[in-house]
Amino acid sequence: MKVIYPLGLLLILVTGISCSGDDDANISELTFSGTVLKQLTCTGPVYQIKVENYTPIDTLTTPTLPGSYQEEGLHINFRVTESGSTSACAAIYAFKHVYDIYDVRLKPTQNE
């Protein structure tokens, strides 16, 4: 019986550490590639972007996509930061991955 308590405590500790949500811990240090999917049907220019080659996030939502990049199907490179947006759209639908994006550039084609 004395062995069960320490093992149970160890199991709880290991589970808690392994399930911590640090996926976005250093996300602002990364440059992403993605495709502009669509403008969401709600207030303001809120867009969804399909993220390439980053497993924790397959699609993100952003209220800060610059106007010159607000075109469906456009391939872009960009950086992100946690969103400080108080967009009604983001608040109503509670999107999982809402980020402000910056340093947006067209993704070079393979011929360049």
Q: Is 88 helix (H, G, I), strand (E, B) or coil?
A: helix
- What is the CB neighbour count within 10 angstroms for residue 44? 13
Domain extent listing, the chain: 23-106
Token pair for 68? 């010159």
pTM flag (> 0.75)? no
pLDDT tens digits, one per residue of 21-38: 445 558 888 999 999 998
DSSP, residue by residue, 37-53: EEE-SSSS--EEEEEES
CATH number of the domain located at residue range(s) 23-106 in this protein: 2.40.50
Residue-wise pLDDT tens digits, 50-86: 999 898 999 999 989 999 999 999 999 999 998 776 5
User: pLDDT (tens digit, 9 = 90+) per residue, 92-110?
Assistant: 566 678 899 999 999 987 6
